[in-house]
Chains A and B, each alone.
Chain A
Amino acid sequence: MRRQLSIAFILSVFAAAVGAQSIDYDPRRAVELRPCDDQRYRGRTEQARTCYMKLLESNTPIVQAEAAWALGDIKRANEIFRNTVQNNERAVQPRVRWARLFLQTHQYSDAAQVFSEALRVFPNDVHAKLGLAGVYAERFEGQARPLVDEALKVDGDLIEAHLLSASMDLEEGKLEDAGKALDRAMRLVSKEKLPPLEVYALRASLEMSRGNSPDQWVERILDYNPRYGAVYEQLAHFEIMRRRYKEATALLRQAVEVQPDLWSAHAELGSNLLRLGNVEEARTHLQAAYSGDPYSPTTVNSLRLLDRIGEFSVSVDPVTIAQDTYEVQLRLHKKEAEVLRPYVLSLTARSIESFTQRYGFKLREPVTVEMYPDHDDFAVRVAALPGIGLLGVTFGYVVAMDSPSGRAPGDFHWGSTLWHEMAHVFTLEATDHHVPRWLSEGISVFEEWRTGPTPGVAVPPETIAALDKKQFLPIAELDSGFIRPSYPNQVQISYMQSGLVCLFIEQRWGFEQLGVLLRQFDGKRSTAAAIEATFKIAPAAFDKEFDTFVRTRFANVLANFSEWQQQQQTARQALQKERWSDVVEPARRAVALYPENVGGDSAHLMLARALDKLNRRPDAIVALEDYRRAGGWDPTALKELARWLDEAGRASDATDVLVSLNYADPLNAELHSQLGERLLTAGRAEEAFREFQALLALNTLDQAPAHFGMARALRELGDQSGSRRHLLDALATAPHYKPAQALLLQMIEERT
Chain B
Amino acid sequence: MAVAIAVGATVSDFPRLALASFIAMLALPASAATYTVVIAGLGGEPAYEQKFREYAVAVASAAETAAGSSNNVVSLSGGGARAESVKREIKKLAARMNADDAAVVVLIGHGSYDGENYRFNLPGPDLTDTELARLFDELPARDQLIINATSASGAVLERWQKPRRVVITATKSGGERTATRFAQYWAQAVASDAADTNKDQIVTAAEAYAFATNQVEAAFKSETAMATEHARMEGDDAGRFTIARLGSAALAPDNPEVAALLSQRGAIEQDLDRVKGQKASLPENQYYDQLEEVLVRLALLQKEIDSRMGGGGS
Contact = CB atoms under 8 A, between A and B. Distances in A.
Nearest to A748: B296
Interface residues of A, number: 25
Interface in A684-738: 700-704, 724-725, 728, 731-738
Contacts of B291: 728, 731-732
A735 B295 contact: yes
Nearest to B194: A702
Contacts of A704: 197, 199
Given A701-B210, A728-B291, A744-B295, A736 B300 contact: no
A736 B292 contact: no
Nearest to B224: A408
A738 B210 contact: no
B269 A724 contact: no
B302 A741 contact: yes
A741 B292 CA distance: 11
A701 B188 CA distance: 14
A322 interface: no
Contacts of B292: 724, 728, 744, 748
Given A701-B210, A732-B276, A745-B296, A408 B222 contact: yes
B306 to A, nearest CB: 8
A741 B314 CA distance: 11
A732 B210 contact: no
B222 A732 contact: no
Contacts of A123: none
Contact of A701 (B197, B200, B295, B299): B197
A742 interface: yes
Nearest to A668: B222
Contact of A736 (B198, B210, B211): B198
B198 to A, nearest CB: 5
A737 B198 CA distance: 7
Contacts of B299: 731, 741-742, 744-745
A744 B296 contact: yes
A738 B303 CA distance: 9
A733 B1 CA distance: 11
B313 A742 contact: yes
Contacts of A700: 214
A334 interface: no
Contact of A734 (B194, B199, B288, B313): B199
A737 B199 contact: yes
B298 interface: yes
A409 to B, nearest CB: 7
Contacts of A738: 199, 302, 306, 312-314
B264 interface: no
B272 A732 contact: yes
Nearest to B225: A408
Interface centre among B1, B211, B269, B295 (most CB of A within 10 A): B295
Interface string B282-314: 000000100110011011101100100000111
Contacts of B303: 741, 745
Contacts of B298: 731, 735-736, 741
A407 interface: yes
Interface in B159-209: 194-195, 197-201
B224 A736 contact: no
A738 B314 CA distance: 6
Nearest to B197: A702
Interface centre among B197, B201, B312 (most CB of A within 10 A): B197
A35 interface: no
A701 B211 contact: yes
A735 B197 contact: no
A673 to B, nearest CB: 11
Interface centre among B194, B201, B292, B306 (most CB of A within 10 A): B292
A735 B223 contact: no
B198 A734 contact: yes
Contacts of A702: 194, 197
A61 to B, nearest CB: 47
Contacts of B296: 744-745, 748
Interface string B264-288: 0000010010001000000000001
A726 to B, nearest CB: 11
Contact of B201 (A724, A736, A739, A745): A736
Nearest to A703: B197
A724 B289 CA distance: 10
Contacts of A737: 198-199
Given A736-B200, A738-B313, A745-B303, A725 B269 contact: no
A362 to B, nearest CB: 40
A742 B314 CA distance: 10
A213 B296 CA distance: 77
B161 to A, nearest CB: 26
A502 B223 CA distance: 37
Interface centre among B200, B223, B302 (most CB of A within 10 A): B302
A175 to B, nearest CB: 45
Contact of A409 (B1, B222, B276, B295): B222
A736 B268 CA distance: 12
A736 B222 contact: no
Nearest to A701: B214
B224 A407 contact: yes
Contacts of A732: 272, 276, 291, 295
Contacts of B195: 701
Nearest to B302: A741
Interface in A402-431: 407-409
A221 B230 CA distance: 62
A228 to B, nearest CB: 47
A409 B296 CA distance: 42
A748 B200 CA distance: 22
B194 A731 contact: no
Nearest to B313: A738
B224 A739 contact: no
Given A409-B222, A724-B292, A734 B302 contact: no
Interface centre among A409, A728, A736 (most CB of B within 10 A): A736
Interface of B: 1, 194-195, 197-201, 210-211, 214, 222-224, 269, 272, 276, 288, 291-292, 295-296, 298-300, 302-303, 306, 312-314
Interface of A: 407-409, 700-704, 724-725, 728, 731-739, 741-742, 744-745, 748
21 contacts: A409-B222, A701-B195, A701-B210, A701-B211, A703-B197, A728-B288, A732-B272, A732-B291, A735-B199, A735-B298, A736-B200, A736-B201, A737-B198, A737-B199, A739-B314, A741-B295, A741-B299, A741-B303, A742-B313, A744-B299, A745-B299
Query: Which 5 A-B pairs give the minimum distances between C-beta atoms?
Result: A738-B313, A741-B299, A734-B199, A737-B199, A736-B200
Given A739-B313, A741-B299, 14 more contacts: A700-B214, A704-B197, A724-B292, A728-B292, A732-B291, A734-B198, A736-B198, A737-B198, A737-B199, A738-B312, A738-B313, A738-B314, A742-B313, A748-B296
